[in-house]
Amino acid sequence: MFVTVYTPDIPLYGQEEGVWVLTEVIDRDGEERNRKFNEEHEELHYEVNYSRGSFTQRRTYTGPTESMHPYSDAVHGESTTHKASGAVRPK
């Protein structure tokens, strides 16, 4: 998790407008939370990989294929992957 501070009226680094500044990085291990979610929700399976500056989450639908009209159908085995990456805190 990245904790940021926005400074709307304080110019930094020669900018005329305020900027977002990374002030703290908090590492959390969500392995237990994901394991518990996977046990409680048979129709979804989450896989999460995290290291400082990189995060990937994959969600796979493991329930039966079914119509979700008016939305897209829920298809057994279909998955989505979300990735995020970032730099380390400036010194």
pLDDT digits (tens, 9 = 90+) for 45-72: 999 888 877 888 899 999 999 998 888 8
pTM over 0.75? The answer is no
* 20-52 residue pLDDT tens: 666 777 777 778 888 999 999 989 999 988 887
DSSP 40: H
> Is residue 38 helix, strand or coil?
helix
Q: First-to-last CA distance in the chain? A: 18
- Per-residue pLDDT, 13: 58
Go through the chain and tell me how many residues it has: 91
